[in-house]
């Protein structure tokens, strides 16, 4: 409201749960499951399915995209059912004209914005918390965006408080290496 954050809630479900589901259901290692999720995963079932081969080390794995999509979609429905519940309990269910913002590694899943828009019936966007223009290339990934957003907030608080860098020089020095200089 008026560009101020009104509500925050952590839902302890996300992309790692999708990876774990893929690993269990497809009987592969978590590393292979993560690769499948990133390279071949979609937030909802595709109209046309096809077989894929995933090479990992010396191993080759064959899957159908329908199977992958069904596993991912089932977990996404669970995650966003929890989001619906939290929105209802918070009183913000019908008070989000700007919709919701997705962040973190799970936000990189192909089609996630459309899935969420349709599933929650809310405007949906993917945010990087302004990291494109404020941080070094080392941390410019969606999976780091929540943490980077907190670091940006800390930097802004520190710049407003002129004594902060004098009182906590080690912390300021450590975090400074992640940020580009303000222009």
84, part of any domain: yes
* CATH number for position 46: 3.30.420.40
Determine contact, residues 34/20, Cβ cutoff 8 Å: no
Q: What is the pTM of this model?
A: 0.71
**What pLDDT, in 10s, does the model give residues 42-55?**
998 788 889 999 99
**What pLDDT, in 10s, does the model give residues 68-114?**
999 999 999 999 999 999 999 998 888 888 888 888 778 889 999 99
**Nearest alpha-carbon partner for 41 in 105, 132, 122:** 105
Percent of the chain surpassing pLDDT 90 = 44
CA 157 to chain CA mean position, Å: 25
Determine contact, residues 125/99, Cβ cutoff 8 Å: yes
Domain that holds residue 22: 15-93
Determine contact, residues 136/179, Cβ cutoff 8 Å: yes
The tally of domains found in the chain comes to: 2
Residues 86 and 137 in one domain: no
Q: Which of 69, 93, 117 is the last residue of a domain?
A: 93
Q: Which of 93, 118, 153 is the last residue of a domain?
A: 93
**Residues 6 or more apart from 72 whose CB is under 8 A from it?**
18, 21, 22, 37, 41, 42, 43, 109
How many C-beta atoms lie closer than 10 Å to residue 114's C-beta? 13
């Amino acid at each position: 409201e008026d560009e101020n954050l009104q509500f925050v809630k952590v839902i302890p479900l996300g992309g790692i749960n999708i990876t774990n589901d893929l690993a269990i259901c497809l009987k592969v290692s978590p590393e292979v499951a993560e690769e499948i999720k990133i390279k071949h995963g979609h937030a909802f079932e595709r109209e046309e399915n096809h077989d894929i081969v995933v090479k990992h080390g010396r191993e080759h794995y064959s899957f159908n995209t329908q199977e992958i999509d069904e596993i991912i979609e089932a977990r996404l429905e669970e995650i966003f059912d929890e989001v619906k519940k939290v929105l209802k309990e918070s009183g913000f269910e019908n008070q989000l004209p700007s919709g919701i913002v997705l962040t973190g590694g799970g936000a990189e899943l192909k089609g996630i914005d459309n899935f969420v828009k349709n599933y929650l019936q809310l405007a949906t966007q993917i945010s990087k918390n302004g990291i494109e223009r404020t941080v070094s290339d080392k941390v410019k990934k969606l999976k780091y965006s929540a943490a980077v957003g907190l670091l940006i907030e800390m930097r802004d608080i520190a710049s407003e408080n002129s004594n902060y860098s004098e009182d906590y020089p080690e912390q300021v020095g450590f975090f400074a290496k992640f940020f580009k200089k303000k222009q």
